[in-house]
Amino acid sequence: MQHTVLIVDDDKKIVNLLEAYFQLENFITSASYDGQEALLWIREKHPDIVILDLMLPQISGLEICRQIRMESNVPIIMLTARDEEADKLIGLEIGADDYVTKPFSPREVVTRAKVILRRSKNVSNADELIRVGNISIDIAKHIVSKGKFTIELTPTEFKILELLAANPNQVFTRLQIVEQVQGYAFDGYERTIDAHIKNLRRKLKDSQQESTYIQTVYGIGYKLASDYNV
């Protein structure tokens, strides 16, 4: 199965390099050099994954990411030339699945894209339906619902929730979560997982203080409790 990737960057050399590497892996590639054009392309063509530069003319990559997440759960990998951790965390908190800091290896970008696509499509070996309090996780259909309402999760958020829900009361370190979900570890992974957990709690209307669904085990990591205050 061929996947489609949209590469959004105003640096044509970077776009051409990434397109070449993605095409070697049998991807169908498209390119956009500004945010407005990218949004139109995403709405019309629905790519399987988006590689999105943080620094774009007209509209920033962060704003593009925010607008995409209002309409779609398409996986997003952010490209950033900035070293500030805050920029990366903002991108994750508004819905990016992963980030790569420039200068980067194009082969690594393609590998990360393939991992995200694989985990967003694969059906888990776990039970097809996991129930957590009043939350239902349909593994086969990749749908999470709370009562009568569907909760929109990114592929990364879904896999983290699936991992925790399939192993109630088991504590996972941040490194274990990132290796299970991402398939690789990288610098800053601890804060990356914290950002995704924060998103999950917000979307589940969970709070660390109430300790309803996702609990922090201080100094270790996270777990999903078997008893819920719902």
Residue 100 scores a pLDDT above 90: no
The backbone torsions φ and ψ at residue 49, rounded to the nearest 5 degrees and listed phi first, read -155, 150
Report the b/e string of 21-59 with b at 16+ CB within 10 A: bbeeeebebbbbbebeebbebbeeeebbbbbbbbbbeeb
| The Cα angle at residue 97 between residues 161 and 85, in degrees rounded to 5 | 110
Angle at alpha carbon of residue 101, lines to 97 and 104, rounded to 5° = 110
CB 165 within 8 Å of CB 171: no
Name the region of 26 (left: φ>0; alpha: ψ -120 to 50; beta: rest): left
pLDDT score of 11 more than 90: yes
Over 50: is that where the pLDDT of 64 sits?
A: yes
Residue 126 pLDDT > 60: no
Which range has the worst mean pLDDT, 60-69, 121-130, 219-228? 121-130
Alpha-carbon distance of 118 to 131, in angstroms, equals 24
pLDDT at residue number 120 = 66
Q: Identify whether the C-beta of residue 129 lies closer than 8 Å to the C-beta of residue 136.
A: yes
Joined tokens for residue 88:
């990366």
